[in-house]
Structure 1
Amino acid sequence: MNPQDPLSQLRDIHMPQSGGFWPPAPGWWILAIILILLLALAVWLVRRRRRRNLWIRLAKAELANLERHQQPTAQWFAQLNTLLKRAAREGYPNLHPEALSGDDWIEFLLTNAPNDRVASRPIVEAIVHSTWQPVTTADPGQALAFAHRWLGGQTC
């Protein structure tokens, strides 16, 4: 090292040390907050939808129970009719379907049926009228098929 040469007294260029991964830059914090908010919103929407459609799942479970114990009796048809009325009350609260009976109830079921309304008329009439007849002539299998279709068409 020459004391007369000022360039010889300079040190080599050193790169600064990296800052490491912690703490992250502000952009990463903002991205993390946005992701957490989106995740919370998605969880809230899924829970809200599941809560809103809980009545459909419960009605389908009760319908499965009726299917296991199907019999052509007035009591069985009364239970099926009650199930459909409860489901209608939850699905259409503004129309007050729980107050309907007879032909009005039949028309309500057919109006809100997902498809094949004309072919379903005799089945729906049999469901409603078999509730009050001592000897039923309706087929529980057809009644269950209509109830499955009707509940399957209900959405919120």
Structure 2
Amino acid sequence: MESNQLPLRDIHLPEAIDWWPPALGWWLLAILIPLSIALMVWLYKRITRQTAIKAARKLLLQIKQDQQCDNSQKLKDLSALIRRVAISATTRNKCAGLTGQQWLEFLDQSVKGAPFTLGIGQLLANAPYQKSPPNEQDINQLTRLCEDWLNAQTKRKK
């Protein structure tokens, strides 16, 4: 047989692969990447929130056991500690600008009753403007209230 008479055809290239529909792997990536990003953000918030509360408990214990500080300094330290934890545990714009009665009402949202607006928690808003510093019993009650508030932060869901 001669080469001219053979039933051979020229090489045919396959058609180009279309971009749509994507393969299964691309669909999985499109689902898994946003899910993993959301999971990382959630974990980051949870870890930083837990860390802030643990550190606050240690600082609260230091404030409670510090014999060299006077009561007005302890009050200032407690106030600053509660403010820092509140900013770490919630969004900054929710509580950072609150003062006076609004601040106490925000703190009352985490605990039963109204111990900040109607009870010993009023020291946080009123004591800096008083002539005499708070007594030891008031500071001890306020410290216990701050402990209760911190415990409520671990139970509260964001």
TM-score, structure 2 normalization:
0.59
1:126 partner letter: L
**Partner residue of 1:143?**
142
What is the percent sequence identity of the aligned residues? Answer: 23
Instruction: Show structure 2 runs of 5+ residues with no match.
Output: 1-39
- In the alignment, which of 86, 89, 104 is matched to residue 88 of structure 1? 86
Asked whether the 8 Å contact 1:66–1:80 carries over to 2, the reply is yes
Secondary structure class of the residue paired with 2:130: coil
**1:68 aligned partner:** 65
TM-score by length of 1: 0.60
Alpha carbons 1:74, 1:132 under 8 Å: kept = no
Equivalenced residue count is 109
Q: What is the aligned-residue RMSD (CA, Å)?
A: 2.4
* Per-residue deviation, 1:95: 4.7
Q: Indicate the structure (1 or 2) with the bigger Cα radius of gyration.
A: 1
Secondary structure in structure 1 of the residue aligned to 2:153: coil
Cα deviation 1:4-62 (Å, max 9, x = unaligned):
xxxxxxxxxxxxxxxxxxxxxxxxxxxxxxxxxxxxxxxx9xx8544441000011111
Letter matched to residue 65 of structure 1: Q
Q: 1:106 — aligned with what?
A: 104
SS in 1 for 2:129: coil
Which consecutive unaligned segments of at least 5 residues does structure 1 have?
1-43
Task: Tell me whether 1:124 sits opposite 2:117 in the alignment.
Answer: no
The CA distance in 2 between the partners of 1:105 and 1:79, in whole Å, is 16
